[in-house]
Structure 1
Amino acid sequence: MHKLKEEAKKLLQQLIETPSLSREEENTANILADYLLQKGVEIKRKKNNVWAVNKHFDSQKPNILLNSHHDTVKPNNGYTKDPFKAIIEEGKLYGLGSNDAGGCLVSLIATFVHFYEKKLPFNLILAATAEEEISGKEGIAYLLEDLPEIHLAIVGEPTLLDVAVAEKGLMVIDATVTGKAGHAARNEGINALYEALPDLNTIKDYKFKRVSEYLGESKVSATIIQSGSQHNVVPDKCVYTLDVRVTDSYTLQEALDELKEILKADLQPRSIRLNSSALPKDHKIWDVIHSMKLKCYGSPTLSDQALIPYPSIKIGPGDSARSHTPDEYIYLEEIDQGIDRYIDILRSYIDSIN
């Protein structure tokens, strides 16, 4: 196990020093594929997604997916260290993607390799995926069509090794209010800006009807508004943007329908792909969570959980508060702890089945 942990840290250093911005992950996909091949794992690849199944895969057994991503956001201007250099100082490994979600990814890979040749009461599927940071269509969603039905997905994201059993979804809506153009000096027309004001006031104070146990209230915010082109023309159209963070109490369509009931504007969602999620109350993984006394919470941040239409939990080493920040880092000991935690979860799951 010590060897796997050291290999995981070296693999993470390689990933940090290989730029892998979203849609540009080919080189890190090559590194991941090479590592798994060196460990005797038969891999599959779909564009920049690398995946594998355990050696004794049995189509009659349930499938557990181990998933994390190898793409990163662009480094921000606040970095004082080279974001593409793996720097170790005082027990911290610095570098872009170290915390989000490199530490989780290499910990899941080590876990998969640990169990690869063992005969298990379930199948393990490892998926190192692309485009998570942009919720892209050629990441986990692109790969899922090639995978069997998933009994449980374990999504690797930095959670301080607590378990996110629910996650908010996201819907962006373009709202259009129509008026009638006229000359501003002659009190003509119907000002679309003024027509939009009641909607904006409603949104400001609106509370969705249903409340989630783990995520609390869904939230809608007006974030952008555009109207008019000349100072002396009454605008005939006002378009505003809504950012809607939806809990597991709603599907995106249900949240959209509720907003349509209270707003005058024509509402057009840009996408209804990024759904909220919640772990079903009767899922077997709850036995593991309770037996291991793991802390549960609802996550306000989006991950590939939103695109996985199966029961899932989100857990991993590192801290979400460090994600996308200057001089991103993860503690080396957190990687060790992450590997131990993932392995313990799967061992406990085996015990709960037997």
Structure 2
Amino acid sequence: MWTEARELLRGAVAIPSVSGQEAEVAAYLQGWMAARGFEAHIDEAGNAVGARGHGPLTVVLLGHMDTVPGDIPVREEEGVLYGRGAVDAKGPLCAFMAAVAALPETALTRARFVVIGATEEEAPSSRGAHHAARRWQPDLVLIGEPSGWEGLTLGYKGRLVVRAQATCPNFHTAGEGRSAGDDLTEAWFRVRAWAAQAGEPGGVFGGVQATVQDLQASTDGLTQRAAGTFGLRLPPAVAPQAAEAAIREALADLDTVTLTFVGHETAVRHPKDNALTRALRVAIRAQGGTPVFKVKTGTSDMNVVAPHWPVPTLAYGPGDSALDHTPNEHLALAEYDRAVAVLTAALGALATGAAPCEAPKAR
């Protein structure tokens, strides 16, 4: 089992798959699943989809196979796999696939397990997740994101992207007046000031985080233009539509600035006591771990599917999320093995109804 599971991961990480360019890795994942008894296909969004089982319970395991740009030479050193996507998020997705492939027939007669390798999670479009949300109606959902093999992620912050552009006539810098850059800077200061007082006091998850993602300036000699992209991470208390309305009001008197808003993703936080979390906690303890609940300040496909799938949901997967998008992205293969074992045990228990409660904690 471990050899096959590791080879799956090595093969997936070795195939570049920047958002929008996932076709090759999708074909690889589809082929791996088809060879192991999955009903496997590539759907209309380019997702690699594989299903096993024919029971009444439907469990969707939604991971993503795309990555951010960045060429990290794929190599294995002392039991650690280096490469873009090893952590975010081919490691979690391959752990899903390996675990479902290992399930016994007793589990497959009582549940249907659908593994989805989604496209464009790292892009604002989230194309694969949006398509999956319309296609499937699961009873339980696992999102493939790095949580550490002992971690269970219950929620993610929401997101709003503000694209601001200031335009004004060109003038000599020795004269009086405000440049396009001045007005764009003023717009950013107001966005930042609003973010500082919005949300709930105490704790990063409850506040609004604001960052400058991009700045540009240009002139053709007649007109000045300055453009900026501001990213907002939103807590459950601040809906994206409310944030947009507040920012439009705060910048209403800056008549040189036009605003465009994209990426309206609402924050989500799921309950921590249900059949899904109980099964994972039992399985983690059986592997010698201590379950830890987490919430994340980023966003994931959990935000996309939550409005469509109001069912027990959590994110799980091997790897340290602090390595996401970094030049040093890597995953310890021993941790990956443990995550596969945890998932296999938890999914089997969910299918057979064998995980309604946990063993008492040691004192």
Question: Which category describes the TM-score, using the shorter chain as reference length?
Answer: 0.7 to 0.9
Superposed, 1:202-213 pairs within 5 Å as 202-206=190-194, 207-211=196-200
Matched, 1:73 2:68: yes
Write the letter of the residue equivalent to 1:243.
Answer: G
Write the letter of the residue equivalent to 1:306.
Answer: N
- The residue that corresponds to 1:51 in the other structure is 49
Write the letter of the residue equivalent to 1:301.
Answer: G
Q: SS at 1:110's partner residue?
A: helix
Structure 1: gaps (5+ residues):
none
CA distance in 2, matches of 1:197, 1:324: 28
CA distance in 2, matches of 1:228, 1:45: 43
Contact kept? 1:171, 1:269, Cα under 8 Å: no
Matched, 1:20 2:21: no
Contact kept? 1:260, 1:267, Cα under 8 Å: no
- The residue that corresponds to 2:6 in the other structure is 9
Superposed, 1:294-305 pairs within 5 Å as 294-305=291-302
Equivalent residue in structure 2 for 1:155, among 143, 154, 157: 143
Write the letter of the residue equivalent to 1:22.
Answer: S
Q: SS at 2:210's partner residue?
A: strand
Contact kept? 1:203, 1:221, Cα under 8 Å: no
Contact kept? 1:175, 1:241, Cα under 8 Å: yes
Matched, 1:168 2:165: no
CA distance in 2, matches of 1:327, 1:182: 46
- TM-score (normalizing by structure 2): 0.78
Write the letter of the residue equivalent to 2:118.
Answer: T
Cα distance, 1:242 vs. partner? 2.1
* Number of residue pairs matched by the alignment: 337
CA distance in 1, matches of 2:12, 2:20: 15
Write the letter of the residue equivalent to 1:313.
Answer: L
Greater mean deviation of Cα atoms: 104-113 or 65-74? 65-74
CA distance in 2, matches of 1:27, 1:228: 39
Structure 2: gaps (5+ residues):
358-363
- Structural RMSD (CA): 3.3
- TM-score (normalizing by structure 1): 0.80
Q: SS at 2:10's partner residue?
A: helix
Cα distance, 1:288 vs. partner? 4.9
Cα distance, 1:213 vs. partner? 6.9
Cα distance, 1:333 vs. partner? 0.4
- Change in 2 beyond 3 A, CA 1:52/1:353: farther
Cα distance, 1:183 vs. partner? 7.2
Q: SS at 1:132's partner residue?
A: coil
Greater mean deviation of Cα atoms: 305-314 or 8-17? 305-314
Cα distance, 1:230 vs. partner? 6.9
Cα distance, 1:284 vs. partner? 4.7
Q: SS at 1:104's partner residue?
A: helix
Q: SS at 2:241's partner residue?
A: helix
Contact kept? 1:71, 1:132, Cα under 8 Å: yes
Write the letter of the residue equivalent to 1:67.
Answer: L
- The residue that corresponds to 1:100 in the other structure is 88
- Change in 2 beyond 3 A, CA 1:339/1:267: farther
Cα distance, 1:317 vs. partner? 0.5
- The residue that corresponds to 1:109 in the other structure is 97
CA distance in 1, matches of 2:54, 2:274: 24
- The residue that corresponds to 1:326 in the other structure is 327
Greater mean deviation of Cα atoms: 331-340 or 264-273? 264-273
Q: SS at 2:53's partner residue?
A: coil
Write the letter of the residue equivalent to 1:37.
Answer: A
Cα distance, 1:283 vs. partner? 5.2
Cα distance, 1:46 vs. partner? 0.8
Cα distance, 1:14 vs. partner? 1.6
Identical counterparts, % of pairs? 23
Greater mean deviation of Cα atoms: 34-43 or 109-118? 109-118
- The residue that corresponds to 2:189 in the other structure is 201
Write the letter of the residue equivalent to 1:91.
Answer: G
- The residue that corresponds to 1:131 in the other structure is 120
